[in-house]
Structure 1
Amino acid sequence: MDASSTKDAKSPSQDAVDELEGDGRHETISLEPDLDLAISSVLATKDPLDSSDFDPIEYINLIFPNEQSLATIDNVLTKLRTKIRRMDIEMRELVRSQTDAGQQTASDLRDAQKAITELYSNYERIREKAVQSEKMVQEITKDIKSLDQAKNNLTVSVIVLRRLHMLVSALDQLRGAVSRRQYTDAASLLQVVNQLLVHFKGFRSVDQIAVLLEDAAKLQVDLKRAIFGEFEGAFVGGTLRSQYQTLHEACRVVDVIGAETRQELVNWYCELQLKDYRNIFRINQEVAGLADVSRRYAWFKRLLKTYDDDHCAAFPNDWRVAEAASEKFCQDTRKDLSEQLAKADHNMDVKVLLQAIQTTVDFEGKLHKRFDPRDLEAEKLTEVEVNQAPPGSKFHKIISSCFDPYLRHYIDSQDKVLSDLLETYRSRPTATEEESVLASSTDLFYSYRQTLGAFAKLSTKKPFLDLCILFGKWLRNYADMLLSKLPSDEKKAIGNEDIRSICLIINTADYCAATTTQLEEKLVEKIDEEFRPSVNFNLERDGFVNVSGSGIRALVRGIENSIEPAFNTMLKKPWGTVEAVGDQSDYVNTIATTLQFSVGAVKQHFASNKYFRTFCDKFSESFLGRYYNNIFKCKPISEVGAEQMLLDTHALKTILLQMANIGAEPGTQPPSTYLKLLNKGVTKVEQLLKVVLRPYEPVEGIVETYLLLFNDYSIANFQKVLELKGLKRAEQQAVMEAFQRRIPPDGNKSVGDLAGAGASTNATAAALAAAGAKFNMRKFVAGMNIPASMKLG
């Protein structure tokens, strides 16, 4: 087959491919990613051929997934040719439409430019005509504006001339009213003149008006001088009673002149009235001292009465002349008293000082009630607050503030009084006390309350803080005094009277701690706000709490000393030769009898049950510790002796349980904290006795029991237990060798001197069972009953 025949034999599909390729007629165009994305969003087509990441191989595989689908290749080619022709047609139409649109746009642009040129020409013509019209209107209205301005000027001139005429007339009438002493008319005319003068302030450049303004000012000065002359003539010349009406009217003129002139007149009156006061109480030292401060206030009360009876009619009520005179008097008095206090500082009589302060505070309160009346009942003020000027009043400490720096003399005197009081308290025997707290404590706080109430009227500033510090000092001293009344002999047994005395001190310390908190709150309430953070009695409260704790310890120590004979009996008993376990030992009965009376007395004399609970906790802890230590002093202890001690320990536990419930309702359980503390101490004793109870042979048994109960690898501690059992040196050697074999490489673990090895009863029983221990519990259980006479209920 030749080449031509081969060429003619091409398949239709090959022709389609050639046609699609078009010998390079269709060129692939690559666009920017952003532009391609924008085109895709506009077209919003799902055709794969329109995708920017079109893959022809993937597309062909999608159309022809298998060989059988190749049978439809002619149909696919036909569709593709059709689509290509349709796209070519669309592209030609778009190109043609874009060409026509460009030509039309250029034509529209030329038309728009032409229209703008014509519009600008019309605007220029209109503007020229508007300017011409404005000039024509100005020419027409020129004469009208001149006439209107002339009319306005003429009106203003007429008004000014009319006011000027009124001012001249008012000044003439004012001169006449002043010359005739017609001050009511003068007040009205002066008010008119002042109103008119406001309009002429801008005409001072006019000579005639400037002269007129000067005449008005001179007339006002003359009027002021005439009014002051009226007052001087009336008050100094003795013609007051005949001039009440004239002076009262003159005051209205003064109100018109201004507040400055009114204040000047009031100050003149105050100076005139207080002139005699200064002459009497500054020059004459016989009546100027602190002891005569009441004379000052009596003198001013007479002055106020004179004002009320004779002078008040001359002044308007709204001038408050009496109040101004009172303020001036208080200022002068404060200055005088400050000088007198400075002179008497080194030889201050505290009694005179306090009397002067009290008189001054009462005087300030009376001034406040007169010039600042309030509904005292509605404000629920106390009697003390009613009798003094409250904070916020202009008379509050207006005079008495000068005493503040010298109140230290009063505080020093109180320091001496409290010192003498404490010495008295110290010498009082507690046996004579009848209440549950020392009478001295209630006396002390009563004294504090009285001093606080009186001092709060004198000052609530720095001196009040000094008083708070003084209170704290003597509270601490009182706590030290209480502490000194506790028994100092730590080995002395205490009886019922001693117990009552100690309980009395504990009750008193508790009362003082609570009352100190109340005192602090009251002091904080009274003192000024700036000093409140400095008022703190935590140290004093801690001191009283320490007294209570020391009292509890003294009770515990004293009652333990009371049962020392019982412990001595325990130590003297030959525990190594006990042959049988019987009832509880005699020393247990002695302890029960002693505690029955001692603890009952403690319960009876405590004012608060919380301290009895604390006592029970401390006593049980100390007692069991002492009992535990005494066991080591009872060596040697045989196995039977250890059983007897276990019985005694249980009996003591029962006694301690009953001790905590003494005076309580039947069936009442002790507090859970007490039970935990008691069980811990008893368990520790039982653990020790159970190790002693264990036979030393085989040696591994006692070693195992000790390690299970105490978890202690101390050779010294273990040797003490062996010595307690009474083992000989040879016997101890074998046991110690077995113990040393059980010590781990890092086995330095120790619980101290056999302390703190607390295990529960169940754990102890399990450990002993695992070690093969055998107990003779029959006799132990049989001896549990305590005689009724020994019970503490």
Structure 2
Amino acid sequence: MEASRMEESTSGSNGAALGKEAEDLDHIETKNFSATEYLNKLFPNEESLSGLPEFLVKLRRRIRKVNDEILVAVRQQSQTGSRAKEDLAQAQNGIEDLSGRITEIKVKAEQSETKVQEICRDIKKLDYAKRHLTNTITAFRRLSMLMSAIQNLQEVSDKRDYRETANLMEAVNQLASHFESFSQIPKVCELRGQLSAIKSGLRATIFDDFIYATAKEEIPPETLEKLTHACRVVEAIDLHVKDELVSRICNKEMSAYQQIFSTNEAPSTKLEKTDRRYTWMKKLLTRKQPFWDVFPKSWEVSSLLCTSFCKITKAHLSETLDSMRDNPDVANLLKALHWTLDFEKELNLMAGGGEISLYEVVDDGNEDGENEAADEAELTEAEIIKRKYMAARKEREEGGSGQSEPGASQAQKEGAFTGSISSCFEQHLKCYVELEEKSLMETIDNLVNAETWEAEGGENNVISSSVQVFLHIKKSLKRCSLLTKGETLFNLSSSFKRVLQAYSERLISRLPRNTSNKSMNSMATTVSSDWHVKFDDKEEKVVCLIINTAEYCYETVDSLGQSIAKILDKPFSNQIDMSEVEDDYSGVITTALSTLVLGLETRVDQALADMARVNWAALDLVGDQSEYVNVFSSVLADSIPRLGALLDQNNFRFMCDKFTASFIPRYRSTIFKLKMLSDSGTQQLLLDAQAIRTLLLDLPSLGNHGLPPSYSRTVQQEMSKAENLLKVLLSPPDAILSNFLALMPITAAKEMPQILELKGLSKAEQQDVLNEMSRRGLLDEQDTSRLVASGEGSRRMPDIKWGGKFENLKQKMKDSAKGSQALKLKERFQLKGKFNVNLNLGNRN
């Protein structure tokens, strides 16, 4: 009973769910509808199939509803198509009716146009007649006016009334322009001929009036006014007439200039009178100020006159300089060049100043041109003139005046006269460059001879002569840049290179020399003492000052090259290269540092000599560090702090690197120079080597400079070679080969005979070790057959008594020889593929 009730309740719930899902059939119409998923959702289990009949009924009802909707839509669409055909037929009928109306309107418009043309045909003829009649009347009136104007022009031109002539000329030109197309009419040709004759006559009379006026010292005001109107007449005649007039006036003035200064004097005398040329030009512009005001500004008469003057003066000076090529007078040459540059500056200021004319800034107090003041005074005067110009220009700009004309030519622009005369000096300034170079060389000699070789006191800690050298070079550069910025300045830069290279040679010559007077680049050796360089603390300070000075010069040379390149004109600015000079001063630094290293090596050489004099074979006890280590320590403690205070970090690092690279190999070579070592002597040397390693690692702290970790690594690596050598010497005779192979590089195999001699092995023992090395391919047969000693052989050193901490070191070395070192050696030979042997450190193979 209970099961049947549960089944009925389950089927009832399923039926309710099915009915709900069946009512919602709208999503069947979606695009991504899946019938399988939908049915699985409605009938998830067998119990849900009980609602299937009801679902089918509802589905059929929905199908009938959809079919009815489709039928209604088809009927509506059929009715719509019929109405569309009727509307289309009505539209076509309307279009045909509209087309007919348009055609009718077009026909009526053509008929109307024909009627209007018939009505206006006579009116158009009358209009053309009126137009032609008006043009004819106008032409006759203009012809009458032209005839009257030419007649009046003839009358006023005969009277030289240029005011009326200018007005009439402008009117005649305007009237004549209307008859350009009537050139074949006789009357017009006659009038044009009369006008040409009048213009020719005016041209001649105006030219005569201007030439006559230029010959006078004082021109009456009425004449100036007359000439002003004459300029208007000239402009009305033709532009070519204007150019011819200006050219004649310039030639007239310049012919007088050529007569005055074309003399047969000596070239040097002509050059001395260069300033008189410019004074004459200033006087010309000043004296005839009212005359130059006659001309319109657009004519640029002042600029053209100055241009003609510059061309003639350049030709005269070029001829004079060419005649002086073999025997140049540098003083007069530079003086003339200064005068020329100052004059060009004044011309440029005039050209860029708009309304300002040259005569406004002429200094009447110097019109005689005999002022021979210093160049600096002349330049100061030019700067004063320039400030005067700029102040006047500023006032005009603030007042709304001084605007440049739109059609201003290049001669009116500031800088147009630069090099217009001075360019002829360029190829003759070689003597000036030579004089500057000679003067700088003499200055260097004087500075070096007077040098106290003490620090100047600045931040760079350099000698005073280096600062003075660059100061003189800067002054020379400034002097030359005021004269020219072209080839001469470029040639002077080459002189600067030679001067700086000469100074670097003076620095090198001041360095202390070694006993054999050889190059400071030689290395310290244990063979001889020719490389010794002995100097006191004062000389050591001088060497450091030379290093700092060369460093200062190296840095300053680069900035000097950049300054020269900025001043030079192209293409010379791209050709400045100071690398050779920088290399020279870099060489000075290297040589001076090498000298310091050799001096330090010379001092510590006494410690190595003391080391070589000790009888290490007779030493039977191991104590504290040896006396030679104390000597070495005292030398470093005395020199390194002083050098660290005088050198910068980079140079101090270089010195330390070079010192350790030289000293440690010499220390190792000194070990090989010892005759024989006992075990206690070898142990003492090993202790000393560790002390020397510590001293070398303490060099940065002694010099109060921080050095990179690479320095410590280098000291550790190099000192390890000497310590490993001593450890090999401490090995028992039967383990010396294995320890050698474990601690020493393969390249040190040729040192084995010397090691065996230091060890004190007998001749037979030495030969056995060498034969074994030869068998392994480490030595050649010649090395193997070499006799290590003569006589009966060396005696074995007696065993020493190890005490204290050295007993542990001895035991540690024996364990190392029998353990890890043998394994390393075996791996080394197996990796090479050359040997594959079993090593027993207790017995020789």
Instruction: Using structure 2 for the length normalisation, give the TM-score.
Output: 0.69
Give 1:269's match in structure 2, choosing from 249, 274, 283.
Answer: 249
| Structure 2 equivalent of residue 692 of structure 1 | 726
| Structure 2 equivalent of residue 548 of structure 1 | 589
Give 1:308's match in structure 2, choosing from 280, 286, 295.
Answer: 286
* In structure 1, distance between residues paired with 2:635 and 2:55: 122
Greater shift in the superposed pair: 549-558 or 455-464: 455-464
| Structure 1 equivalent of residue 483 of structure 2 | 458
* In structure 2, distance between residues paired with 1:475 and 1:100: 112
* In structure 2, distance between residues paired with 1:702 and 1:386: 89
**2:474 maps to 1:449:** yes
| Structure 1 equivalent of residue 28 of structure 2 | 47
Q: Which has the higher contact order (CA 8 A, sep 6+)?
A: 1
Q: Contact 1:254–1:262 (CA<8 Å) still a contact in 2?
A: yes
Greater shift in the superposed pair: 329-338 or 724-733: 724-733
* 1:465 shift after superposition: 1.9
SS in structure 2 at match of 1:536:
coil
* 1:203 shift after superposition: 4.7
* In structure 1, distance between residues paired with 2:815 and 2:427: 86
Cα distance change of structure 1 residues 716 and 658 upon mapping to structure 2, 3 Å threshold? closer
* In structure 1, distance between residues paired with 2:274 and 2:318: 14
SS in structure 1 at match of 2:571:
helix
Q: Contact 1:692–1:724 (CA<8 Å) still a contact in 2?
A: no
Q: How does 1:424-573 map to 2 (within 5 A)?
A: 441-442=466-467, 444-486=469-511, 487=513, 488-489=517-518, 491-496=531-536, 498-573=539-614
Greater shift in the superposed pair: 542-551 or 482-491: 482-491
* 1:225 shift after superposition: 2.1
Q: How does 1:376-415 map to 2 (within 5 A)?
A: 383=380, 386=383, 392-414=414-436
Q: Contact 2:169–2:236 (CA<8 Å) still a contact in 1?
A: yes
AA partner of residue 418 (structure 2): H
| Structure 2 equivalent of residue 645 of structure 1 | 685
* 1:399 shift after superposition: 0.7
Instruction: Using structure 1 for the length normalisation, give the TM-score.
Output: 0.73
Deviations 1:683-713 (A, max 9, x none): 6436644663578566787677666755768
SS in structure 2 at match of 1:192:
helix
* In structure 2, distance between residues paired with 1:251 and 1:122: 75
Q: Contact 2:567–2:573 (CA<8 Å) still a contact in 1?
A: no
| Structure 2 equivalent of residue 358 of structure 1 | 338
| Structure 1 equivalent of residue 319 of structure 2 | 339
AA partner of residue 267 (structure 1): S
* In structure 1, distance between residues paired with 2:50 and 2:723: 109
**Structure 2 residue ranges without an equivalent (≥5):** 1-24, 362-377, 388-412, 519-529, 779-807, 818-845
SS in structure 2 at match of 1:671:
coil
Cα distance change of structure 1 residues 234 and 458 upon mapping to structure 2, 3 Å threshold? same
Q: Contact 1:703–1:735 (CA<8 Å) still a contact in 2?
A: yes
* In structure 2, distance between residues paired with 1:647 and 1:172: 130
SS in structure 2 at match of 1:398:
coil
Q: Contact 1:361–1:388 (CA<8 Å) still a contact in 2?
A: no
Q: Contact 2:611–2:628 (CA<8 Å) still a contact in 1?
A: yes
AA partner of residue 622 (structure 1): S
- Percent identity between the two aligned chains: 29
Q: Contact 1:479–1:509 (CA<8 Å) still a contact in 2?
A: yes
Greater shift in the superposed pair: 477-486 or 460-469: 477-486
* In structure 1, distance between residues paired with 2:816 and 2:594: 40
* 1:329 shift after superposition: 0.9
* 1:614 shift after superposition: 3.6
AA partner of residue 628 (structure 1): R
Give 2:658's match in structure 1, choosing from 615, 618, 625.
Answer: 618
* 1:547 shift after superposition: 1.1
Deviations 1:740-789 (A, max 9, x none): 99999xxxxxxxxxxxxxxxxxxxx9999596479xxxxxxxxxxxxxxx
Q: Contact 2:275–2:336 (CA<8 Å) still a contact in 1?
A: no
AA partner of residue 309 (structure 1): R
AA partner of residue 665 (structure 2): G
Cα distance change of structure 1 residues 409 and 387 upon mapping to structure 2, 3 Å threshold? farther
Greater shift in the superposed pair: 629-638 or 529-538: 629-638
* 1:585 shift after superposition: 2.8
AA partner of residue 706 (structure 2): P
| Structure 2 equivalent of residue 786 of structure 1 | none
| Structure 2 equivalent of residue 230 of structure 1 | 209
Q: Contact 2:444–2:503 (CA<8 Å) still a contact in 1?
A: yes
Greater shift in the superposed pair: 487-496 or 305-314: 305-314
* 1:328 shift after superposition: 0.6
AA partner of residue 400 (structure 1): S
Deviations 1:649-671 (A, max 9, x none): 45545655776556x7xxxx541
Q: Contact 1:653–1:678 (CA<8 Å) still a contact in 2?
A: no
**2:301 maps to 1:321:** yes
**Structure 1 residue ranges without an equivalent (≥5):** 1-43, 745-764, 775-793
Cα distance change of structure 1 residues 72 and 491 upon mapping to structure 2, 3 Å threshold? closer
Q: Contact 2:534–2:602 (CA<8 Å) still a contact in 1?
A: yes
**2:715 maps to 1:681:** yes
Give 2:271's match in structure 1, choosing from 293, 303, 313.
Answer: 293
Cα distance change of structure 1 residues 221 and 568 upon mapping to structure 2, 3 Å threshold? same
Cα distance change of structure 1 residues 431 and 636 upon mapping to structure 2, 3 Å threshold? farther
Q: How does 1:671-750 map to 2 (within 5 A)?
A: 671-673=706-708, 677=711, 680-681=714-715, 684-685=718-719, 688-689=722-723, 692=726, 715-716=749-750, 721=755, 723-729=757-763
* 1:509 shift after superposition: 1.9
* In structure 2, distance between residues paired with 1:628 and 1:385: 74
SS in structure 2 at match of 1:491:
coil
| Structure 2 equivalent of residue 590 of structure 1 | 631
Deviations 1:352-382 (A, max 9, x none): 5434433322332343455545999xxxx98
* In structure 2, distance between residues paired with 1:617 and 1:250: 90
* In structure 2, distance between residues paired with 1:132 and 1:498: 126
Deviations 1:309-345 (A, max 9, x none): 2463364363553432221111112123333444444
Q: Contact 1:290–1:352 (CA<8 Å) still a contact in 2?
A: yes
| Structure 1 equivalent of residue 171 of structure 2 | 192
| Structure 2 equivalent of residue 7 of structure 1 | none
* In structure 2, distance between residues paired with 1:651 and 1:92: 117
AA partner of residue 153 (structure 2): L
* 1:527 shift after superposition: 0.6
